[in-house]
Amino acid sequence: MPHPAHRTPESRVFKRVLAAIKAGLKKGWDGLIWLVKILVPISFATALMLHYQLLHHLDFLLQPMMSMIHLPASAAIVLVIGVFTGIYGTVAALSVMSFSMAHMILIAVFTLISHNLIQESMVQAKSGLRFSTAFAFRLVMSFVVTMICGWIMGVDPDSAGPAGVAALQAAPGPLAVMLIDWATGTAWLCLKILCIIMTLMVVMELARTFRIIEAVTRITAPVLRLLGLDRSCALLWMTAAVFGLAYGAAVIVEETKNGSHEPMILTRLHLSIGVNHAMIEDPSLFLSLGLPAFWLWVPRLVAAMAAAWLHMGFSLARRFYAARPGHKKLCDH
């Protein structure tokens, strides 16, 4: 066995790569276990609510507000499904309902911001933002952005509702069939998450070992400044933007464990990625319904930028007010 001093550079590099892969796989597995503990019970409870049509009884909560966002009352069913499930549930509902193109665009805008809220808000709560804040902020932003888009498009909320509502309210099928479909879909989802998490964690550990993170941070710094975010959040933002909050949960949680990010910077990041994440997969699903790409990408991106910059401005204003001499004297007394 060669003396440590006589090891070749290739052997030292190999050992570093091997150590990074092992560390990444361990972190990936730990992250998967944590995520599955959230995903499985929530998805099962949602599947039961959908099977027994319990979600449809919640649409009365949204109906009075539908006209504010230029949608017919019947759209509340689709929004409730999207909020409690995800993009797939919304696309499935729209495929059997005959909304106008303008209404479908507004439903897509709303759901792209507020979907799968319980699970994704728990991810954000685990990595630096309170659950209630994450949940409420995305829901409010959905209404605000959809209302503005409807006003710009001049959409009429009083047009006739879809004929396909009855399709969503049909009598539920056999429970056994639903359970098999849920188990199959959940197992497939967990397998996809496993592959993505393991790959991401290994790549992250290799990037950290060979100091690639610093290079990525320098390259993305101008983009992050435009978005109102700090350059230290480069990898977190890229993970959420590409993979989303569910698939990227393990990476986001793991990277925020060490406390290297300032709370204010982390809050600003969460507000941004809460509004705008999974920029490839989620909008692409709506393209299959013939919706124009502009409304699927631009409103969310603009809203995320506005949220980050407004948070930055509010933080600076609060610091300036706290630094005033009169305010300090008042605090001293």
Expressed as residue numbers, the domain containing 207 is 14-321
Q: With respect to residue 9, please indicate whether it lies within any of the assigned structural domains.
A: no
Q: With respect to residue 333, please indicate whether it lies within any of the assigned structural domains.
A: no
Per the structure, how many domains does the chain have?
Answer: 1
pLDDT in tens, the chain (333 residues): 555 555 677 788 888 899 989 988 988 888 788 778 877 887 788 788 777 877 666 666 667 788 899 998 878 888 988 898 888 888 878 876 778 999 999 999 999 999 999 889 988 998 889 999 999 999 999 999 999 999 999 998 766 555 555 555 566 678 888 899 888 988 887 888 788 878 888 887 888 788 787 787 788 888 999 999 998 888 889 888 888 887 777 778 877 877 778 889 999 999 999 999 989 888 988 988 889 999 999 999 999 999 999 999 998 888 887 776 655 554 554
Q: Provide the 10 A C-beta neighbour count for residue 247.
A: 22
Query: Tens digit of pLDDT for each residue in 290-316?
Result: 899 999 999 999 999 999 999 999 988
Which residues have a Cβ under 8 Å from the Cβ of 53 and sit 6 or more positions away?
Answer: 169, 172
Q: With respect to residue 87, please indicate whether it lies within any of the assigned structural domains.
A: yes
Q: With respect to residue 202, please indicate whether it lies within any of the assigned structural domains.
A: yes
Q: With respect to residue 174, please indicate whether it lies within any of the assigned structural domains.
A: yes
Q: With respect to residue 331, please indicate whether it lies within any of the assigned structural domains.
A: no
Q: With respect to residue 40, please indicate whether it lies within any of the assigned structural domains.
A: yes
Give the tokens for residue 18.
């091997």
Give the tokens for residue 150.
């409807």
